Chain A
């Protein structure tokens, strides 16, 4: 990308020729017994090309918007870049810890809120002392003061989502993948969430934002990508990407 502002920045994510095809077999051939009995009758496998070959480079501190209609491969791309899925070809180089946020965040329902904060914080690369320091802030931001030692399986889905969001905001990985996160919590919490974005939180962090809200993308993203049927159609100027997306929706 011939973007002059990114010249002096280091690369946060470098992806070269990545692609992803999902194999979906029609009957569940996932036991030894099944495999033996159907040795000469291989299962019918459907190949779903979720992501066609693409390359991209994201610099540190950038906020990138991802646009595209449902099923265009946005979530698959995000999971590939976050290192959750493995790529079929090419390579992805990531500098730093990553965190993926969508409707659920990496939390165990068997653990209490306190334990989840510590586990998630630690997975995100914080030391125990650092988590101690921000623990109260996280609980306060999530509005869960009375439920610190309650297992989160007894939480409502809103409470879980709020806790996840608070951890992400306060602990935060170097690279954040935010997949439709503005749907979390009630109006009051959403307001708080948006305020976080307006504050300096986003500065110095690499953020990849998946959203169907044009306003959000336009406001925060320096560059945006538009995807269609698993293909990266355009990656560059935010306004151009948005206009291509709106065109596609017509």
Chain B
């Protein structure tokens, strides 16, 4: 089975093509504006500064290592939003890829998310440098931090699933863009991005199991900042969420996505 999969991947040019499309997408995003790649680095810093001022200085939050706390929460959240809100119209903007050939549409999604992943890893690298070298209240990282790879894969599949669902719904309902915007704002405030995990748990008990993003952020902080194992129960829940949404997304892509060329 593995052999077959391996052969298929090396002999066909699929992996090359995904990487090529991802690189071009990344270049389009960051090299087109004046600030260039610098913007990719600047944005999370600006975001963290704003939230830091509001919550630490004004509301005097008592979370230890607060800047790192928001930092990791925000970069995970930003990846999710970029990969979902940013791809609602993907079947429209990337029409040129499937309108003239029988290319698999799923590749278009994966390459766009790969391009977002490049941005994410830049940010993650910045976080690691910040947390280990600058953050005064840092505990340092340890081997448990490697769990972030699993958590990121989880986030990737989750975002891919949501992206598939939204962009396919876009074919029959154009205002899914606006609806999703409202929903993400809602989700943003219902995820423990800038407030304390214990406060979140008290106010909304068990909601960390209801919101897949919350679980990923909580676990990312456990493995990167506290140096402990992820909460396995939460991890399984989130992986299950991601797989279910991805599965629904694939069904929608087959049912609705196949009509994209004629409807959009």
Contact = CB atoms under 8 A, between A and B. Distances in A.
User: In which size bucket is the chain A interface?
Assistant: 35 or more
Interface string B228-264: 0000000000000000000000000000001101100
B133 interface: no
Given A115-B24, A128-B20, A99 B96 contact: no
B101 interface: yes
Interface string A111-123: 1000100110011
B101 A97 contact: yes
Given A100-B100, A122-B20, A84 B261 contact: yes
Q: Which residue among A86, A94, A111, A128 has the maximum number of chain B CB atoms within 10 Å of its CB?
A: A86
Contacts of A126: 13
Interface residues of B, number: 27
Nearest to B176: A32
Interface string A75-86: 000010011111
Given A115-B24, A118-B20, A127-B16, A84 B100 contact: yes
B197 interface: no
B115 to A, nearest CB: 13
Contacts of A97: 101-102
A123 B17 contact: yes
B101 A30 contact: no
Interface in A88-143: 94, 97-101, 104-108, 110-111, 115, 118-119, 122-128
A31 interface: yes
A229 B6 CA distance: 47
Contact of B16 (A31, A86, A122): A122
Given A31-B175, A32-B179, A115-B24, A82 B17 contact: no
A127 B13 contact: yes
B21 interface: yes
B258 A86 contact: yes
B179 A119 contact: no
B94, B174, B262 interface centre (most CB from chain A within 10 Å): B262
Given A30-B172, A108-B96, A128-B16, A123 B24 contact: no
B175 A32 contact: yes
A84 B173 contact: no
A83 B98 CA distance: 9
A111 B16 CA distance: 18
A201 interface: no
A67 interface: no
B53 interface: no
A127 B18 CA distance: 12
A132 to B, nearest CB: 12
Contacts of A32: 173, 175-176, 179
B179 A98 contact: no
Contacts of A127: 13, 16
Nearest to B103: A123
Contacts of B96: 106-108
A197 interface: no
Contacts of A100: 99-101
B97 interface: yes
A22 B259 CA distance: 11
Contact of A106 (B100, B258, B262): B100
Given A32-B175, A115-B24, A84 B98 contact: yes
B42 interface: no
B28 interface: yes
Contacts of B13: 122, 125-128
A62 B196 CA distance: 68
A64 to B, nearest CB: 18
B191 to A, nearest CB: 25
A111 B24 contact: yes
A105 B96 CA distance: 8
A108 to B, nearest CB: 5
Contact of A101 (B94, B100, B174, B261): B100
A105 B24 CA distance: 19
Interface of B: 12-13, 16-17, 20-21, 24, 28, 94, 96-103, 172-176, 179, 258-259, 261-262
Interface of A: 22, 30-33, 35, 79, 82-86, 94, 97-101, 104-108, 110-111, 115, 118-119, 122-128, 173
15 contacts: A30-B172, A32-B173, A35-B173, A82-B101, A84-B261, A85-B261, A94-B102, A104-B100, A106-B99, A106-B100, A118-B20, A123-B17, A123-B101, A126-B13, A128-B20
Given A82-B100, A106-B98, 11 more contacts: A30-B173, A31-B175, A84-B102, A84-B261, A85-B261, A100-B100, A105-B100, A107-B96, A108-B96, A119-B21, A119-B24
